[in-house]
Amino acid sequence: MTTDKFNEFVQIVKRLRKECPWDREQTNDSIKAATIEEAYEVVEAIDNKNYEELKNELGDLLLHVVFHTVIAEDANHFTIDDVIDSIREKLIRRHPHVFGDTKVSGAEEVKKNWEEIKLSEGREALLDGVPEMLPALQRAHRLQEKASKVGFDWEKKEDVWKKVIEEIEEMHISEKEESKEKLEGEIGDVFFALVNYARFLGVNPENALRKTNKKFINRFNYIEEKIKESGRKLTDSDLKEMDRYWEESKGIVD
């Protein structure tokens, strides 16, 4: 039943590609931004634990996977079968502990083997597989993860924290200099060191900051609502009042 439904879905997308003027005009390049947006909407549904919405957003993301493939097929690049064959072969190849005789001690060794297999597949450098288009925080985390799999890593969490403090101090020193470019570099080093420390704590920094952003929005919205209740605008308030509502919001919204 699942195979039949998937094939029916592919045929629907192919028909839209032929008969819908908008779909007919699209290219892989023209819809790539929307693909990224759909992926983030999936993440948002996961964060909200909204499984009805997650079901819908995964459908939208699946549409993009199939649509990109249909566009590529029109240009004789590859087909949906090629896409499925590619990922099927990759999964089998990169899981020799499941589909072969390789023995592993746990998840960390699985990840280490995964990176070694990727290198054997023809990548020229270990870090080549981290997309430049990733958000900078997420990319820093992935770069550090991949480097750690081949032994380029700190041994103790305490040393990582010392590095964070060192980078913060260097940033403060750089504040007194004239060079904006140097200060930007030092701030980048602080972020990179904090991402590294988060990794040692087992925390994904992208997830952590996304949750903090959401918390900030909720609390600031609370401030705005309380001020509006008094018939005023935010610009009619002052920091003292806003800070009072901010503290009040902590026990109410998050």
Boundary of a domain, candidates 57, 90, 123: 90
106: in domain? no
Q: State the Cα–Cα distance between residues 227 and 248, nearest whole angstrom.
A: 13
181: in domain? yes
Asked whether residue 31 falls in the same domain as residue 83, the answer is: yes
> Taking each helix axis from N to C terminus, what angle separates 205-229 and 180-200, rounded to the nearest 10 degrees?
110
CB 57 within 8 A of CB 41: yes
122: in domain? no
CB 68 within 8 A of CB 82: no
| Domains held by the chain: number | 3
Boundary of a domain, candidates 71, 90, 109: 90
220: in domain? yes
Asked whether residue 173 falls in the same domain as residue 225, the answer is: no
User: 52, exposed or middle or buried, with CB in 10 Å at 0-12, 13-18, 19+?
Assistant: exposed
Asked whether residue 46 falls in the same domain as residue 76, the answer is: yes
Asked whether residue 85 falls in the same domain as residue 144, the answer is: no
CB 191 within 8 A of CB 140: yes
Asked whether residue 27 falls in the same domain as residue 69, the answer is: yes
- Per-residue confidence (pLDDT) for residue 253, from 0 to 100: 83
pLDDT block averages, 10 residues each, the chain of length 254? 87 97 96 94 93 97 98 96 96 93 89 81 81 91 90 93 96 88 95 97 93 94 94 93 94 82
101: in domain? no
Asked whether residue 211 falls in the same domain as residue 200, the answer is: no
Is the four-CA dihedral 172, 157, 159, 136 of positive or negative sign? negative
Q: Where are the alpha helices (DSSP H) in the chain?
A: 2-19, 21-25, 32-47, 51-74, 80-93, 96-99, 107-120, 136-148, 157-175, 180-200, 205-229, 239-249
Asked whether residue 86 falls in the same domain as residue 31, the answer is: yes
Asked whether residue 231 falls in the same domain as residue 173, the answer is: no
Asked whether residue 239 falls in the same domain as residue 177, the answer is: no
Asked whether residue 6 falls in the same domain as residue 86, the answer is: yes
Asked whether residue 46 falls in the same domain as residue 17, the answer is: yes
105: in domain? no
38: in domain? yes
Q: State the Cα–Cα distance between residues 102 and 122, nearest whole angstrom.
A: 21
196: in domain? yes
- The domain spanning residue 54 has which CATH number? 1.10.287.1080
Where in the sequence is the domain holding 52, given as residue range(s)?
2-90
- Per-residue confidence (pLDDT) for residue 3, from 0 to 100: 84
Asked whether residue 242 falls in the same domain as residue 179, the answer is: no
